[in-house]
Copies of this chain bind each other. A is one copy, B any other.
Amino acid sequence: MVRALGVVIAAAGRGTRMNLPVNKQYVKLAGKPVIMYSLELFTRLEKVTRIVVVAHPEEVGYCRSLVPADGRITIVPGGKERQDSVYAGLRQLDSDTQLVAVHDGARPLLRAEMVYELVRAASQQGAAIPGVPVKDTLKEVDGNGLVVSTCKRDRLYSIQTPQVFDYRRLMEAYRRAVAEKFYGTDDASLFEHYCGPVVVVPGDYRNIKITTPEDLIIAEAFLRSERRDPFANRHWL
């Protein structure tokens, strides 16, 4: 039984690959800034007690102007790397927070159902992340554009967010990572390195991260095709 879920939304990245003057979290998707989609979803989940949005230091004011008045939402400035930003967000949560969901602000299409599954798995396992099987062949390429090796694809998963963790254990991993200057690719890689096994639960091919201009076209198409209520099959713990 999960009493309370803290949420950290990472929105401090600059998204240089979008070729846009505005941060990708604030690009409009079907008329609404990308970040608002996940923010609204989390505010509608009753067990969510606190949401910390980590914005770029120069965009804290702009971010605040977008966010609805909700006593649970705090906006803080991020740090140099994504990991520094997430840590800044995590430190804002109450020390008795049981579970925390760390989410990318640039992933607007997450569904409540997947959050429930992750919370359920993380409350048993300590850490749960969404993943989908990789579709394409992957190769390692050297600096000259030549193939170095072809990856074995059988057990490779594309990892998404939100990633849900036991709050105290994730904080311990972050403290040690800071002390040792260890940088991971995502939050789970810190948990894997310092705390132990992380379980992968089925992700959703629709839960894309807005990274390149093509992703906006994809996200709008998914929104248009969405017939089911994102709150369908609501069964909380």
Contacts and interface: CB of A to CB of B under 8 A. Distances in A.
A160 B135 CA distance: 10
Q: How many copies does the complex hold?
A: 2
Interface residue tally on A, bucketed by range:
35 or more
Contact of A145 (B151, B188, B201): B201
A148 interface: yes
A155 B140 contact: yes
Contact of A214 (B158, B184, B222): B222
A138 B156 contact: yes
Nearest to A197: B146
Interface stretch (A19-27, A64-72, A205-213): A205-213
Interface of A: 129, 131, 134-142, 145-148, 150-153, 155-160, 184-186, 188-189, 192, 197-201, 205-206, 209, 211-212, 214-215, 217-218, 220-222, 225
